Amino acid sequence: MIRRSAIAAAILAASPLWAFEQDLPAGARLQAERISPLDSYSVPVGVFADGTVPRYEVEGRVVRRSWRIDGSSTTTLQLLAPLRDYLVEQGYRIDFQCADIDCGGFDFRFGIEVIPAPNMAVDIRDYRFLSASRGDTDVATILASRIGNFGYVQVVTVGAPEAEPTLDAREPDQKRPQARPEVSEPEPQAEDQLVQDLLEHGHVTLEGLDFETGETTLGSGPYPALKVLGELMAERPTYRMALVGHTDTVGSLTDNVSLSRRRAEAVREWLITTYGIDPQRFEAEGVGYLAPRDSNLRPEGRRRNRRVEAVLLAE
C-alpha cells in the first residue's frame, strides 16, 4: 500500500531527498537525483502531433529524480495516481495527462525529456504522463512506466529559484531522517541519443550487453539499448537491421569470427522473441577482432571491444 502524503511530500520537496522508501512498494530504489538551482525545463502539454510534442519553457529551481520498483506488479496508474492526487490537494492544476498510445507512443516518449537509462526506462506500450502547475512558478511532471517486473517513476519539479520547500506536509508522527547525499546520474547511453545516432549515422553500439570473454549467452536483462531498438523496429515496420558482433583478441581470428556471429545471433533472437518482430528484418554477422574501438592491451579495452553493433539497412 502506497502512503500518498509521505511519498508525494518527499518527491515534491526541492531540498535533498529524505528517506521514504518504506512508503513505496517493496524494492523501490532511488536511481538518480539532479538538483539545478537555476535551469530551464520544457513542459509537455499535449500529445505528439504534426511532428512535435507541444510544450512551453519554464525557468527556476529544477529537480529531476527517478526510482525503480523491483519485482512490482503495480500498474502505471497505481504508481501515478497517488502523486496526482497529492498535487491536486496541494493546489496544483492538472494541465495535461495521457497514456502510452494516446500520448503518441514512441514519438511522444522520444519527444520529451527522460532521465537516461538505466536510471529511467519507458515501455512505449505501457506508460503514463502528466504535467501540472500551481501559480506562476511551480510546475511538476510525472512519468510512470513498467517493464517486465520493474516499475519506473520519474518526477521533475520546477519552483522559484529562491524557494526552499520543506517536508512540513509529512505526517506529524514522522521524524525527519538524515538527508540522503545527492546521487549523480552516470553517463550511460541515453535512449533518445541511441535513436538519434542510429538514424543520423546509420549504426550504433548496443551498450550494456557486456559479454564475458568466450561467452555468447545473453540473459533476461533488462537491456535498455535492446529495449529501445526493439521498440524502434516495432514502430517502424519498414526498417531492416544488421546486427554485427565484435570480440577482443583472445583466440584465433577464425574462432572469434564465429564467436562474434553467435553473439549477434543471440541479440537477434532476443529481439525477435521479446518483440515478435519478423525474423527477416534482422541479419546477424560477425567480424571477430577486426574492428576494435579500444586497445586490446588493456582489460578495459578488451571489455569495450566485446560488443554488438546495430546497422540500419536500406528500407
| 173-182 pLDDT per residue, tens | 444 344 444 4
* CB 68 within 8 Å of CB 29: yes
d(CA 34, CA 17): 10
Confidence (pLDDT) at 97: 97
Domain boundaries, the chain: 4-159, 191-313
Tally the C-alpha atoms within 13 A of residue 312's C-alpha that lie toward its C-beta. 20
Cell of 246: 565484435
Confidence (pLDDT) at 19: 32
Helix extents (H) in the chain: 4-12, 76-89, 100-103, 105-109, 191-201, 224-235, 253-275, 299-305
Query: Is the pTM of the predicted complex or chain greater than 0.75?
Result: no
Confidence (pLDDT) at 211: 65
Cell of 178: 538524515
Secondary structure (3-state) at 36: strand
124: nearest Cα among 216, 195, 213, 34? 195
Helix or strand run (H / E) with residue 134: strand 127-134
Confidence (pLDDT) at 5: 46
Confidence (pLDDT) at 137: 85
Cell of 103: 500520448
Residue 18: strand pairing partners? none
136: nearest Cα among 189, 91, 72, 186? 91
Spell out, as residue ranges, where the chain has pLDDT lower than 70: 1-28, 72, 162-191, 210-213, 219-221, 315
d(CA 135, CA 188): 36
Q: Give the CA angle between residues 227, 232, 237 to the nearest 5°.
A: 130
Contacts of 216 (CB under 8 A, 6+ apart): 259, 262, 263, 265, 266
Residue 94: strand pairing partners? 132
Confidence (pLDDT) at 6: 47
| 179-220 pLDDT per residue, tens | 444 444 444 445 678 888 888 888 899 988 866 667 777 766
**Pairing state between β 203-205 and 150-159:** unpaired
Evaluate whether the domain defined by 191-313 bears CATH number 3.30.1330.60.
yes
Cell of 70: 523491483
Contacts of 241 (CB under 8 A, 6+ apart): 229, 233, 281, 282, 283, 310, 311, 312, 313
Confidence (pLDDT) at 16: 34
Confidence (pLDDT) at 166: 42
